[in-house]
Each structure stands twice: as C-alpha cells, then as structure tokens.
Amino acid sequence: MSWVIRASIGTSLLVLAGCLVGPDYERTALDLPPSYEVPRGMAAGPEEPRLDRWWDHFDDATLTSLIQRAEQGNLTLEQAAANVQVYRARYGISYSNLFPSINLGASYSRNRVNFASLGGAEGSSGPFNDWQYGLTLSTWEIDLWGKIRRGMQASQAELQGTVEQYRQALVSLRAETAIAYLTVRTLQAQLEYTREVVDLLTQVVRVTEAKFAAKTNTLIDVSQAKAQLANTKAQIPQLEAQIAEQSNGISVLLGEYPGPVARELAAPAPIPIPDRELAIGIPADLLRRRADVLDAERQLVAATARIGVAEAGFLPELTLVGNFGIDSSTFDGLDQWSNRVYMFGPRLSWNFFNGGRVVSQVKQAQALAMLSEIAWRQSVLNAVSQVQTSLSNYDGSRRAMFDYRAGVGDTKTAYDLALARYKAGTIDLTQLLQFAQVVLDAEIGLAQATGQTSQNLVELYRSLGGGWEAYPIPYGGADAFLDDRGRTSDGGRDEVPDGRHFPPQEPPKQSKEGAPVG
C-alpha cells in the first residue's frame, strides 16, 4: 500500500473522529438568588410570567395598534434584522471552508521554445499551439484538528447573537413605544387638570371683581387673583408642546413622519393601568429569557471557539491540490480522452517556528474569552438588578398613586369650603389661592403618579425580558423566518433563516484547555 493511500486513510479517520482542538463551551454555574425581594404588600408571585403580549394587560386598543405599527415600520428594528443577514452570510462563508474550491477554466496560447535558454543546443522549436481546458483544485485544507469547525462554531454563535440583538431591539421598541404613549396620556391628564384649575381661578377672579365693585376688598385682591390665573394658564402651552414632542417621538418609533400620530392621539383618553396580580418568575428565568443575556452568552461561546482556532496554529496543516483537464496542440484534439492531463497530491506543512506568534494568539484568544465571560456575568447581574429596581419603582409609584387618589377629593372639598368662606369674608384671598394651588398640585400629582405607575410596569416587563417569544425574525423583508432560538434542537440541527441547516453540534463537554477533544 503506497504512502499516499495510507495518508488518505489516516486523514479520513482523523476527520471522521471529529477531533477538535481547544475547549468546548460549558456554562459557568452562577450563584443566583432563589427569588426576588418583593416589597411588602405587593401582589407578585414566582410563577412564570406571561410576557408574550404584555401590552394586552393594559386593555388599550390604541396602544396595541401603535406597537403593531412600530413592529412593522421601525427603522432601528430593520437595521437589526439586516445585521442578522450579514452574520448569516458570514456563517455561510465559514461553512464553505469545509469544502474544496474547484475552478473550471480554458486557455489557448501559441508558443515558441528557445532551447538555448534551457541549457540545450542552439535552436528553437517551431511555433505550436496549446489548447487546454479542465478543472483545478485550489488549495484545500483538510480540517484535521477542527480549526475550520471551531471557526464555524464561532460564526454560528455570532449569528445567534445577532438574533438575540434583534429580539432585544424588539423588546426595547415595544417598551419605548408604550412609555411614550403613556407619557402622552399623562400629559393630557395634567393638561385637563390644569384647565380645571384655570376654570376655578377664573371664578375666583369674578368673585374678587364683584367684591371690589361692592367695595368689600381692594384692587390688590383682583390683581393677585388675575396673576395667579395667568401663571396657571402659562402652563397650558408648555404641556401642549410636550404632548406634541412626545407624539412626534412616537412617529419616529413607528417609522412615520410627524402629523398622523399627533392627530390620532389628539383626543384625550384615560391613562391605562392594569389591575392584576403580577407574576415575575425567579432570577434564573432571565438566563433563557433576557435577549441581552443570551447575546452575551453567544459572544462567550464564539470567543471560546476561537481559542481552538488559535491553538490549531501549533499543529501541522494538510492540504490537497490538483488539476485535471485536456491539453492538445490542436483544437480538434480537445475531445480526445488520450490528451488528458492531471496532477493530484497532498501537501503537509508545519509552522514549527514563528517567534512566539501562535502562543501570543492563543493567549489573546483566552483573554478575549475571559472578557466575554465577565461581560456575560455582568449582564446577568445587571438583569437581576434591573428587575429588582423595577419592582421597587413600580411599588413606590403605585402606593403614591393610591395616596393621591385618596387626597384629591378632599382637596376639592376643602377648596369649595374655602371659596364659600372667602365670599363670606371670613378668610382672605391668599388663603383661597393656596387652596386652589393645593387642588392643582394634588391633581397633577395624581396624573403623574398614575402615569409613572404604568410606565414603571412597562419597565418591569422590559426588565423581565419578554415579548419576543412568538415573534418571527424577518430577514431584509423576505418571507423567511428563524423559528427557534438558534441553538441545537432535539434533532441535533440548528435552523438558519432560509431553511438551510447548521451542521450537527455536539453537546458541550468539559475538556482540558488547549488539549484536543475527539
């Protein structure tokens, strides 16, 4: 048996064994808290939350419509989808490295050979034609040590990371749209309450003018009442400008030009706020639900795979080259099998000395993997902290809302009594205006607390990481979607957007860093 055959058999056995240098990724165990710290008196349980359509909890058709339009028209979301396309193509490039590159070519030349230039006798050959065509096998690297497959794993993980980035953009878009809408409704409530107080102060001005006409007060009272009325009126255009600003912001989120959204939201409506018990789950849920955490983990997987790519530099490379074709001095001879020419053979190369470059490349890859692991752990810590903060903020604004609700009615009653006493002359105007200001402060406070409660609830839903589960991933507007999480399924194959598949991926297993696994 020739050495070529023996080498080919040995190469095949190594490839079939699936030998891979470098470590396989294995998730680091995290000491997560068993549950969240729920504020006292707050109805929130560890049950798995329903987050696929959390905005339906607000029971607001306008909010639902705005979110749907944002999903269809937001340009930032389109950028995230296009980025997935970029990395899907990059994965395809890395996948192609497993296969040979074969070129089909043809050529013609007319030649004359000078024998003297070749060290022979003087003279030359007569001119002759050279016709040829055939196949050329460019250098084909045999993936003995898994360098190419490790690169594929890294590209696959980066592709999966862009899917998570898209989902994170989707979660943020829905939350930002909801918060902007709730801000509009909050400002409209403040505007309505301000106009109510303007009506109260207009009535006070009439009373002071009547008392002045009856010579029972002074012009100071009239001027003071008018000044208070003017100062309160001045808040109206400011609130209207803020409403316009928020409406224009919603238009941008929807990918629309300003105008239609502002007209659509022109009619005031109550601030929507759900009244139901919350299900928040446990911190461990965030590892599989928060898209930013999943993205950070995918980057760690990619960095771990690139350690193997770097470590392959220590080992020899086996490549195959060759060609096959027809070579004839006449055009008619191009169809003659006897004119065939070919060359095929392996090449073995080993960069055994490189001044420590490969060692440094491995150390660099290991350090980058360490950075990625730290970033992943930081993302988990941030996620748990954000949920806890959102819980506290929601509870605080909710309790403030209940307190304002209880007090608004009393402030109006107190104002009515104060107005009657002012008409009777038992209190002065300053006291009456103070009661009017208390009414305004209480109503504005109620509107702000109600709006803040709803916004904090949206932030809680955002921090829990939900809303992407049932939403497909579009690719450049095409009707192709990524239906799974982008990771190994029970069947051992990972879907890519256009229906192709990732190659089977072995389950993670522990290996000594730097040692081949196979």
Give the pLDDT score at 289. 86
Q: Is the pLDDT of residue 516 over 50?
A: no
Task: Please write the tens of the pLDDT for every residue from 205-260.
Answer: 999 999 899 888 889 999 999 999 999 999 999 999 999 999 999 999 999 999 99
Over residues 74-126, the pLDDT tens digits come to 999 999 999 999 999 999 999 999 999 999 999 999 887 776 665 555 655 66
- 26 pLDDT above the threshold of 50: yes
Could you list the residue range(s) of the whole structural domain that residue 246 is in?
23-99+152-316+360-464
pLDDT, average across residues 261-277: 91
Mean pLDDT over each residue of the chain, to the nearest integer: 84
In a domain, 493, yes or no: no
Residue at 343 is within a domain: no
pLDDT score recorded for residue 274: 86
Do 417 and 469 touch, CB atoms closer than 8 A? no
Q: Is the model more confident about 364 or about 14?
A: 364
Q: Is 117 domain-assigned? A: no
What is the rounded (10 degree) CA torsion for 13, 91, 317, 16? Answer: 0
Q: Above 90 in pLDDT, residue 276? A: no
Mean pLDDT value of segment 7-35? 73
pLDDT of residue 282: 84
Structure tokens at 194: 């301000």
Strand partners, 136: 103, 323
Is there a domain that residue 301 lies in? yes
Give the separation between CA 341 and CA 328, rounded to whole angstroms: 10
Amino acid at 253: L
Strands of the 340-349 sheet, one edge to the other: 102-111, 128-142, 317-328, 340-349
195/113: higher pLDDT: 195
What is the pLDDT confidence band of residue 476, given thresholds at 50, 70 and 90?
A: very low
119 in any annotated domain: no
| 3-class state of residue 106 by DSSP | strand
Residue 311 belongs to some domain of the structure: yes
Given a cut of 60, is residue 54 above it in pLDDT? Answer: yes
Confirm whether 518 is domain-assigned: no
Question: Residue 490 above 60 pLDDT?
Answer: no
Q: What is the mean pLDDT of residues 438-464?
A: 95
- The answer on pLDDT for 320 being more than 60 is yes
* Closest alpha carbon to 446 in 391, 407, 395: 407
Structural domains in the chain (count): 1
Domain-located, residue 489: no
What CATH number did the domain enclosing 284 receive?
1.20.1600.10
Q: What is the pLDDT of residues 325-377, one digit of tens each?
A: 999 888 888 888 988 899 999 999 999 888 999 999 999 999 999 999 999 99
- The tokens describing 282, both together, are 């446990």
Q: What is the reported pLDDT for 92?
A: 93
